[in-house]
Structure 1
Amino acid sequence: MATNSQYSNRWTEQRGTRPARIANCSGYKADPGYHMRLQAELGDVDYITGDYLAEVNIAENAQAHAAGQHPGWEQTAWDGIEQTIDLLNEKRIKVIVNGGAHNPQGLAEKVHELVVSKGYNLKVAYVLGDNLIEEMRDIKSKGLPAHLDSANDGVRYAEHTLDLLEKENKPIVSANAYLGAREIVKGLENGADIIIAGRVADASPVIGAAWFWHSWSDTDFDELAGALIAGHLIECSGYVTGSNFAGFYEYPYEDLFDITFGIAEVERDGTCVVTKHEGKKGFVTEDTVKCQFLYELQGNEYLNSDVKAILDGVKVEQVGKNRVRLWGIKGRPPPPTTKLAIFYAAGFQSEIVVNATGYGTNEKFELYERMMKFGLKRLGLLDKFDVLEFQRIGIPEPNPRSQLRSTSYLRIFAEASDAAVNLGLASLLGEFAMQHYSGFHSTMDHRTAVPKPYLSYYPAIYPQSSLKTSINLLGPNNTLTSIPTTPPTKTEALTKRPTYETANPAILTSFGPTAKARLGDVVLARSGDKGANANIGFFVPTALPSSYPSSSPLYEETWDWLRSYLTVAKLQEMFADSWNPDFFVERVEFPGIKAVHFVVYGVLGRGVSGSSRLDAFAKGMGDWLRDCVVDVPVKFLEGRGKTGAAKASL
């Protein structure tokens, strides 16, 4: 623990002489403010960063903010600063968050008032330039910006992707460019202690912190790329410290909640050690780091406004308790464009859920679907929906031990431009209330059947050279210093990302006898969303209690089997009934962490709030595929003590 003197000298004597210690306090707006306080309270850090924005956050509040009914910023970001301000002043910890959302200026001014009321010498700043709503309002005359996946000619856009251009009454409610770290660095150079941003990219606060700490230039691409991945590792709350972890079931459940979030110690060369404060729950292992590394990747290239990270050579190593080093990241110049998230009022959604129990479930759901479609056709509405899906969720347990284990449900999901179309669907619940299959039942509350307005997402790209960005520093007596910032000095055009099957695949029979087992009995996985696309990474674990160590020959052999077995064709086979020939797949490998990675384009429809999928963010896709039964070499199962468990579970 540092002394008060060391705290005061942190920014004059220590900066650049050791790794920057960067703690993260939020991965989403729901994370309570006390996580910021804990990161300041439980140990010594130089910076606290926070990512409060999912794709749709800003859009959800844009209309209310414009009407004066919402402050535009995230309340939990303010709660964190309010709880932590005394420690920030005492320990001289700098804070960089994107919790300003739609109104970073408003939150910055509120924080400045708090600082002044406390009599503290802390300078508050805010970032402007991400909000492009005025530029995007009239797209019918100006044209729609290029789609995020436009450079990939193998991708087919989901139906209705271009509705905001091609149809009437689809007004844009928000348009925000993903900014990099340049404004953050400029603010730190000018003495800012607390920087409030809007839609900077999730990892940008960490990049900016490390960039300033080590005095990098904007062409130190290897270093910037390392900081980008350090930010990626800690940006999601507790995901790197045990939350949302594929191997959770091999650890005590009590260790998996009420955890503290991650810390990245970023070294001068951009490599990092991921760790956490002691004294609270959670854990950092090679496997938790690999899981988070593989989350929401775009393939082997990770794009940011400041740098493009090349991931092929990534490696991790446990270097102490709750300390994992990651290295091998290379950098290239960033693209000349940045991501632009456009949200528009797309129409209305409704959802109906009905249950069936036991005998004849498939026939029951078939009857109900035919009846509802008959009613819609008679009303003249069947062809009026943008989306109308009858999704069968779950299967009854054979020889069920209870009624609950025998029950599954039919989810009717509907989207339409006109609320009257959805109301017509809801009206059939009454019309056919007493015409149904045997044993029909549902929840007593059908409020979800009532149409509700929804926002849909169009992911675009926008020239960085066209952005008008600035860092704005609040001073005494309400003075304001606004400093314009400039785009990257060097960029590199976007190209198609690599995709390939494995080089020199092993002969699968060379691994000996196989047994039917779940893929997840020998590998872990992590999946997530990128707009309309899902990513899924599979890897050989090293840190589970049941896993064999990386020094074991079985570790390398399992990798040879995994890279040879998990082809694009095999993934398509595992998707089974969920496969659509319109999907496009990219496949790459990360041999340093023994991982095979896929991006499946189009599987999430329009993505985010416009997706009809029950798992609209693909969070469960990796675990679904791990549950698929495949032919696994017996020696791998025996090496992990899984043979008996696998047989018993099938």
Structure 2
Amino acid sequence: MARRRRPVRIANCSGATPDPGQIMLTQATGHLLGSGRGLGQRESQPVDVITGDYLAEANIAENAEAFHAGRHPGWVASALTGIELTLGQVFQRRGGLKIIVNGGCLNPKGLAEKVQTLVDERVKKGDGDENVVKVAYVDGDDLLANVEDILLGNANDDRGEGKRRTRLPHLDAENEQVHLAKDADDFLGSDGHEQEPSTAPTTNNKKKKGTKRRKIVAANAYLGCRAIRAGLELGADIIICGRVADASPVMAAAAWWHGWADTCFDELAGALVAGHLIECSTYGTGANFAGFDELMAAPRAGRGGSGAGGPEALWNLGCPIAEIDAAGECVITKHPGLNGYVTEEVVKCQLLYELQGNIYLNSDVKADLHAITVRQLGPNRVHVGGAKGSPPPPTTKLAVFYQGGWQGEMTVNANGYAVSDKYDLQEFQVRRQLREWGKLDSLDVLEFQRLGVPAGNPRTQLAGTTSLRIFAQASDGPDSVRAVVAAWSHVFMQHFPGMHCSLDLRLMAVPVPFLAYFPAVVEQSRIEEAVNLLGVCDSSTEKAGAVVKRVVMGPPRVTEKLAPRESYDSANTMNLEAFGPTELVPLGDIMLARSGDKGANVNVGFTPRTGLSKDPEVWDWMRSYFTLARMREMMGDDWRDEYHVERVEFAGISAVHYVVYGVLGRGVSSSARLDSLGKGFGEWLRAVHAPVPKRFLDRGYRERSRL
């Protein structure tokens, strides 16, 4: 298509399955459902494309077995609801509004056929002819049927019928300093099949004898943007995807709009960043923001009100919009009539969320973020630029989920004196009873996690209460997990003074199956990424959604091998004493942070609070203070020798970024960690005390923030 001049306006409508479908209509109209306000008010401009991300790493696997057994449709219900509500807008705008969602999940074809049925019904009612609204779906991500071949290696190799089962390459395996969880690839089994040794060290290479193969329930590759773009070029108005990378729909829309070639890597890198910034819905407009207390204390900006915002300032937030220009740079904004805050600090924190480091990977481009910049243009308008692109790797991520076993948990509480001794006693009693019964060794995981510290001189009982979370996992069946609550019950009347708990013990007494995650890599040449354009059904006897055109993309034509990830301490650091007198305060007094999960790992980025981000002395202090060794120090008793830390800097946004490998075990879906998504990791580190130069401290804000 011809290159267009103005930026394309792409609105996000979902960042997770719980986001309600009505947000899609809100983004199409610029006002809340039922509010009566429209695009003509507050000078809101229409959007060209609406994208929705419904898939976290574990979403696809959650319903995989039910889908394959015919008990689940395989798609995300809120995605269908959003399209149903918004379809009238698509008809009215006649090609002027596109919708791209990954809510097809396990069954993009099925959801596309359902949407095509809705389109057919409107056509029959006279809302338009059969060419007004076209539906397509992208497939090729689902490799479950081929995963055994991938496990066996190249089907065209010369090892013949006697070829050995090779270990599926782990995403982090090429980094020799990363220790994978000891059970990371146990699902491949050791039941008499010869295996090649793992290519990466593990925390413990000793494995249970006779480990059985675990059933793989989902294996989905992360697709790029090229099939989506091809669908737009075929005239599709609604494109349903499965497991595409989070930013791929935004990249596709920008590439289609501006007519970029597949080798316009700088432009694609910019669009990748834009997609990253808006794909988590309201995270881009003030949600999950470390500076939320500043927003609540500030005048209400979302609807032009005055006075302190309070909690209402962060209620009913609108989702973000990315305006992407022909060079791939973007402006992050929102509809003026909706609540929310689009500020430099909000955008910086979202930029730091769930990064791998300074190179952001996608199936179609690598984005170098070294020179990224973020600049406020005006109220709720932030410019982002500086990303540089290069060819993608020949591989992409393959999310493999398998039956991990059974798990359960329970919580007991304590008050008053000697809380640590009380929990020592409880743990000893349960472990000793399990050992007496011969059940202790049947548990793969048994942790007694101590939550909180009781307030001194508490004014209420709750203020003086802490909790002990007992978490158990077993791969050999639910009985091993049930034994934990049985042991606890057996010694119940021997409890420490004041022990109390919820009377509902079902989380442990009725163990639930869990899925474990293996982030692998797969050659893109193994993937048949394609877009399928559906046709209108013009007869009551025809099945809706017949494919009228299928375009197979093939792997990217230009690729380059991944280089080792960078990790470094800052060059030419300053002596911390040069910054003058210090005060031991929580880092959060001067720092914002954002953290999240990356497979088995946690990422966290630090950037200054509002008012300090432009101060070059603050940046000099940050790059000198936040070293590789400092992360190990800040993690305190949570640090484990098997963890590995990587560190990079983004000078253009005054940010230091870390990845800590191994914190989440095998990943979110099976992690024993209470903060299994890593979202609280950054907030914990902001509470760690640090010797901060007094000249950086805004004492008035600090005192207010601790009330």
Deviation at 1:170, TM superposition (A): 1.3
SS of the equivalent of 1:462 reads strand
Tell me the distance in 1 between the aligned counterparts of 2:593 and 2:173: 28
The answer to whether structure 1 residue 150 and structure 2 residue 150 are counterparts is no
1:484 aligned residue: 552
The structure 1 residue matched to 2:461, chosen from 397, 403, 407, is: 403
Query: Which residue is 2:86 aligned to?
Result: 84
Aligned-pair CA distance for 1:642: 4.5
Pairing 1:134–2:134 present = no
User: Contact conserved, 2:600 with 2:664, CA < 8 A, in 1?
Assistant: yes
Match of 1:467 in 2: 527
Q: Counterparts of 1:387 and 1:439 in 2: how far apart (Å)? A: 27
- The aligned amino acid for 1:206 is V
Paired AA for residue 143 in structure 1: T
Q: Number of residue pairs matched?
A: 627
* Equivalent of residue 6 in structure 2, options 10, 18, 35: 18
Which residue, out of 110, 123, 127, partners 1:106?
Answer: 110
1:621 to 681, 701, 704: 681
- Of 642, 648, 653, 1:593 maps to 653
Residue in structure 2 matched with residue 4 of structure 1 by the alignment: none
Corresponding residue of 2:578: 510
Residue type matched to 1:122 in 2? V
Is the Cα contact below 8 Å between 2:217 and 2:403 reproduced in 1?
yes
Matches within 5 A, 1:491-506: 491-506=559-574
TM-superposed CA distance for 1:169, in Å, is: 4.8
Letter in 1 for 2:137: Y
Q: Using the TM superposition, name which of 144-153 and 579-588 deviates more.
A: 144-153
In the TM superposition, residue 604 of structure 1 has moved relative to its aligned partner by 1.0
Mapping for residues 227-238 of structure 1, pairs under 5 Å: 227-238=271-282
Q: Does structure 2 conserve the Cα–Cα contact (< 8 Å) formed by 1:379 and 1:424?
A: no
SS at structure 1 position matched to 2:492: coil
Amino acid of the structure 2 residue aligned with 1:597: H
Q: How does 1:39-78 map to 2 (within 5 A)?
A: 39-42=27-30, 43-78=45-80
Which residue number in structure 2 is paired with residue 8 of structure 1?
A: none
Instruction: Indicate conservation of the 8 Å contact 1:634/1:643, yes or no.
Output: no
Q: 611, 616, 620: which one pairs with 2:671?
A: 611
Give the superposition deviation at 1:645: 5.4
**CA separation of 1:240/1:305 partners in 2, compared to 1, >3 Å: closer, same or farther?**
same
Structure-1 residue corresponding to 2:498: 439
Q: 1:191 & 1:38 partners in 2: Cα distance? A: 24
Paired position in structure 2 for 1:273: 331
Q: Return the offset for 1:145.
A: 2.1
| 1:116 is the counterpart of 2:176 | no
2:350 counterpart (289, 292, 295): 292
Q: Deviations over 1:472-496 (max 9, x none)?
A: 0001335412111111111110121
8 Å CA contact retained: 2:224, 2:363? yes
How far does residue 231 in structure 1 lie from its aligned partner after superposition?
0.1
Q: CA deviation at 1:643?
A: 5.9
Q: Which runs of 4+ in 1 moved over 3 A?
A: 137-144, 640-646
- In the other structure, the counterpart of 1:319 is 377
Q: Structure 1 644/243 Cα, relative in aligned 2: closer, same or farther at 3 Å?
A: closer
CA distance in 2, matches of 1:337, 1:407: 50
Q: Which runs of 5+ in 1 are unaligned?
A: 1-10
**Inter-partner Cα distance in structure 2 for 1:40 and 1:580:** 48
**For 1:255 and 1:315, how far apart are their aligned partners in 2?**
27
Tell me the SS of whatever aligns to 2:440: coil
Alignment partner of 1:116: what SS?
A: helix
RMSD: 1.4
Q: What is the CA–CA distance in structure 2 between the aligned matches of 1:470 and 1:90, rounded to whole Å? A: 29
Give, as a single letter, the amino acid of the residue that structure 1 aligns with 2:18.
A
Q: Following the alignment from structure 1 to structure 2, what is the Cα–Cα distance between the partners of residues 266 and 144? A: 41
Q: Equivalent of 2:250, from 175, 191, 206? A: 206
**1:239 correspondence with 2:250:** no
**Aligned partner of residue 503 in structure 1, secondary structure:** coil
Give the drift of 1:385: 1.2
Kept in 2, the 8 Å contact 1:334–1:491? The answer is yes
Equivalent residue letter for 1:101: C
Letter in 1 for 2:620: D
- 2:300 is matched with none
Kindly provide the CA deviation profile for residues 126-174 of structure 1, in whole angstroms up to 9, marking residues without a partner as x: 0110000011147476434210011211100012111211331510000
Task: Give deviations 1:232-273, integer Å, cap 9, x for gaps.
Answer: 000001001010000001122211120110000001000000
Q: Deviations over 1:384-419 (max 9, x none)?
A: 111111111111111111110110011111110121
The whole-number CA distance in structure 1 between the counterparts of 2:167 and 2:55 is 24
Q: Is contact 2:613-2:654 (8 Å) kept?
A: no
Question: Alignment identity in percent?
Answer: 53
CA deviations over 1:17-66 (Å, ceiling 9, x no partner): 11010000001111101110000011400000000001111111111111
Letter in 2 for 1:66: H
Is residue 341 from structure 1 mapped to residue 341 from structure 2 by the alignment?
Answer: no
1:524 maps to 2:535: no
User: TM-score, normalized by length of structure 2?
Assistant: 0.87
Output one character per residue of 1:540-575: Cα deviation in whole Å (capped at 9) or x when no partner: 133xxxx2472xxxx111111111011111111110
Q: TM-score, normalised on structure 1?
A: 0.95
2:634 partner SS: helix
Is residue 224 of structure 1 aligned with residue 275 of structure 2? no
* Aligned residue among 441, 452, 462 for 2:512: 452
Aligned to 1:28: 16
Residue 442 of structure 2 aligns to a residue whose secondary structure is coil
SS in 2 for 1:399: coil
Letter paired with 1:32: P
Equivalent residue runs for 1:153-168 within 5 Å: 153-166=176-189, 167-168=211-212
Matched residue type, 1:22: I
For 1:186 and 1:599, how far apart are their aligned partners in 2? 35
Residue equivalent to 1:6: none
Question: 3-state DSSP class of the match of 1:195?
Answer: strand
Q: Secondary structure at the match of 2:284?
A: coil
- Partners in 2 of 1:514 and 1:57 — Cα distance? 46
Give the Cα separation in 1 of the matches to 2:277 and 2:536. 37
**Which of 362, 366, 387 is residue 304 of structure 1 equivalent to?**
362
Supply the distance in 2 between the matched residues of 1:144 and 1:112 (Cα, whole angstroms): 42
Contact 2:612 2:696 in 1 (8 A): no
Is 1:352 aligned to residue 375 of structure 2? no
* Counterpart residue number, 2:42: none
Match of 1:381 among 436, 439, 450: 439
Q: 1:643 to 1:80 in 2, by over 3 A?
A: closer
Q: Is the 8 A contact 1:36 1:80 kept in 2?
A: yes
**What runs of 5+ residues in structure 2 fail to find an aligned partner?**
31-44, 153-163, 190-210, 297-310, 538-544
Instruction: Between 137-146 and 118-127, report the one with greater CA deviation.
Output: 137-146
Give the SS at the match of 2:494: coil
